[in-house]
Structure 1
């Protein structure tokens, strides 16, 4: 229980006092320019512990566009932000809060929610780091769809304003009401899109329907086949590789046993009722699956577990958790187990987390101990199609993501102090918009350097 908790007025005064050290206009500062770390070098250094034969695929995906590069280069922005004075208003950061890391998923009550869905970089840190990461992604996404400068700025300002207004709303709410707040996608996303016109609302409704179809049945049916009454993964290299194809038939058994040990250890991190649920299933097959853009090269496995028969199956994902780039730059310490860091950050920030979310450390066939977190591969999951968006829909989605981010921060940090720091006017909104434009310019230059490195052979790239 908290002791000697400051009053609301004391917390608000503390938030306003931060403006003396970090004026709201300073939120526009994108970080050091002279002596800035080489962005390509930072990406390469991060890859030292990744699967080498997957790195060409990662490079190709990141080289596709500035927005794609941004998705895979949280390490670069973390180094830039570390050179800027921070507010010290600490929350649990997502650490990589760009538009593509928000999405749709099912709550345990089977409601479709919008929330953050990637926590690989989560760590405690200054709230503005996540907001800056989000608004810069809105600017980059707007550039990618060819939006004019005035429209881009309006979208970014709307996103920043939505965060500020939401945080001020949460500051007036009780702690318990904040904890229970969530964005019901069925209602809120359609309402956000409706002012943009019928087309945006229809696209939103179709996205919601697609998310509902992306459930465990679609994962099982799309990735596996039945052989002699048992579910087996269908190989699709390099995106999905069975153990026989990955390590050879002679080593596949030992590898499968190691992942079986991971599953048994992970079981201990679940609440007792979830352990009971998991015990109804047995592991029948394992494969390696490539996921995302920035995550390519980290070890990610899918495990099909089967219950009564081949039709009673689900797919779990065990994804390697490495050191958070945010924690590394800030020098913060968390759980010694990186999978535990990811899971605890996710549970703190999300309105409702996967019922089978847990973690475990295990040694692979190479004998190296690695940390993993485990979750269902799909449970009504869906995302926002940036490439197919129009500016009104992008703006509406940016506002929804901003509300979601504010709710996550309000759960973990001092919402009253953050709201007081941001204030009731638009000074912070405009500063965040200036920051977004500067970061987008920098990202475009970084992407050009990265793509040139791929073309020159410094980095290898292959078709995705």
Structure 2
């Protein structure tokens, strides 16, 4: 029997919750110890940055509430800042989901709840009144529902090829809103068009007579030679070259032929994001046939999804392959250089699954902090549409659509109710983190990001 839709509004009782700081502490123990204080500082900045870094906390909370029982492949961390702009292989700008570290099977509404809660918390951070806060979440759920129901009338191929054109998005924002948010978004799109390996070379490297060298800005950007000072330059290069040769073998043959035209130069450890801080993340610079032909790849650690312990029955021998498979299924258009490698991590000498992708390929995002209520409402509808397009590529499309067709507007209201109540839980967790930092029981280190 299908779950009554009004039960989707339920949030966990305090007594049923696992302590949020305990969950974060468990994650910290798997991360690079010297970077954990940076993570704490970034999460403590606002209730929204806390939410971004607390996917594991929300996964625990979602597992403690009733669910639809309709399981599909989830993004796993579908908050509004994990939607953004990037270039397709055809070189057009698209707007889509762009983070799949937590992808995993689970009840379809968990992605919708994560999105709606993020709309609520971001709206509160922007100073919106209570009605506008709830409206942003409700519109995200509404457009998810409408797009998902409409997908039932489409062919599987039509659903597979559905995507949102980024230029159309920015044009619509410009037509609808003569505000700072429109100007900021259009400026960000223009910047995104030029975010590529050439731009990364200029931003992340210094130059001397021997060529380009990745800058040293510890602990945010640390060349490999500084992390492994006991290894000679040739030995270090050989280790990375061998790893990327194994990565090349995971690429389609025609893409492998492209990658073979590039030679490894050097690598560095880079701190990225909020929730990812402390995981092992490397960037690697490659050179092509001439000076103006650089390639930057990112090699990012993939550990078990935060959803894994709450959705039993799914085993993954390689977490990087889990991330890649989820991305290729849910994303309208994926990086052609997406691949993976199992590598002995230099820090701690532990075997690690890494997925590999281009560091910058037209990536950009809407300036959420600049959005006024009308802009946030539109952005919620846009993200809801994109999330539904992602879920519609899965085999659960018909079942989700049927459930939502029966639920109607009650689904939108239940998700909005959940989002508003969950924002209060998140605020309390954030306040506890701030208090723990203030009394010294949790360490934090504020660092300016310079690269």
Pick the TM interval, shorter chain.
over 0.9
Please tell me whether residue 373 in structure 1 is matched to residue 336 in structure 2.
no
> Secondary structure of 2:357's match?
strand
8 Å contact 2:201–2:294 — kept in the other structure? yes
1:111 matched residue in structure 2: 92
Alpha-carbon distance, 1:401 to partner: 0.9
- 2:135 aligned residue (141, 151, 154): 154
How far is 1:292 from its partner?
0.2
Aligned position for 1:385: 367
Deviation at 1:200, TM superposition (A): 4.3
2:262 pairs with 275, 281, 304, which one? 281
Q: C-alpha displacement at 1:155, in angstroms?
A: 1.2
Q: What is the alpha-carbon distance in structure 2 between the residues aligned to residue 85 and residue 255 of structure 1?
A: 51
**1:436 corresponds to:** 419
* Aligned twin of 1:416: 398
Deviation at 1:412?
A: 1.3
Of 405, 409, 414, the residue aligned with 1:426 is 409
Q: Distance in 2 between matches of 1:204 and 1:179?
A: 27
Shift in Å, 1:229: 4.6
Deviation at 1:189, TM superposition (A): 4.2
Alpha-carbon distance in structure 1 between the residues aligned to 2:122 and 2:318: 34
| Preserved contact between residue 192 and residue 400 of structure 1 (Cα < 8 Å) | no
Flag the 1:384–1:198 CA change in 2: closer, same or farther, 3 A.
closer
Match of 1:456 in 2: 439
1:317 maps to 2:286: no
Confirm or deny: 8 A CA contact 1:320 1:370 kept in the other structure: yes
Write the deviation string for residues 277-327 of structure 1: whole angstroms up to 9, x where unpaired.
Answer: 000001001000000000000000000000113321110000000111111
Q: Indicate conservation of the 8 Å contact 2:320/2:354, yes or no.
A: yes
Q: Aligned-pair distance for 1:89?
A: 1.3
Residue equivalent to 1:139: 120
Q: Is the CA contact (8 Å cut-off) linking 2:204 and 2:214 kept in structure 1?
A: yes
In structure 2, C-alpha distance between the alignment counterparts of 1:34 and 1:60, rounded to whole Å: 28
d(CA) in 1 for partners of 2:146, 2:424: 27
From 254, 261, 270, the equivalent of 2:242 is 261
Which residues of structure 2 form unaligned runs of 5+? none
- The 8 Å contact of residues 82 and 97 in structure 2, kept in 1 or not, is answered as yes
Q: Report what 1:4 is aligned to.
A: none
Q: CA deviation at 1:132?
A: 0.2
Q: d(CA) in 1 for partners of 2:57 and 2:280? A: 22
* 1:405-449 CA distance string (max 9 Å, x none): 000001014222212211263100000000000110000000001
**What's the Cα RMSD here?**
1.6
Query: How many Å apart are 1:256 and its aligned residue?
Result: 4.1
Secondary structure of the residue aligned to 2:14 is: coil
1:50-82, Cα deviation, whole Å (9 max, x unpaired): 100000100000000110000001110101111
Tell me if structure 1 keeps the 8 A contact 2:180–2:370. no
Unaligned runs of 5+ in 1: 1-16
Q: TM-score, normalised by structure 2?
A: 0.95
1:399 aligns with 2:381: yes
Q: Which moved more, 1:359-368 or 1:114-123?
A: 359-368
Partner of residue 333 from structure 1, selected from 292, 295, 314: 314
Structure 1 distance, partners of 2:422, 2:174, is 27
Preserved contact between residue 113 and residue 184 of structure 1 (Cα < 8 Å): yes
How far apart in 1 are the matches of 2:315 and 2:175?
42
- Range with bigger deviation, 208-217 or 301-310: 208-217
Where 2:225 maps in the other structure, the secondary structure is helix
Q: Number of residue pairs matched? A: 445
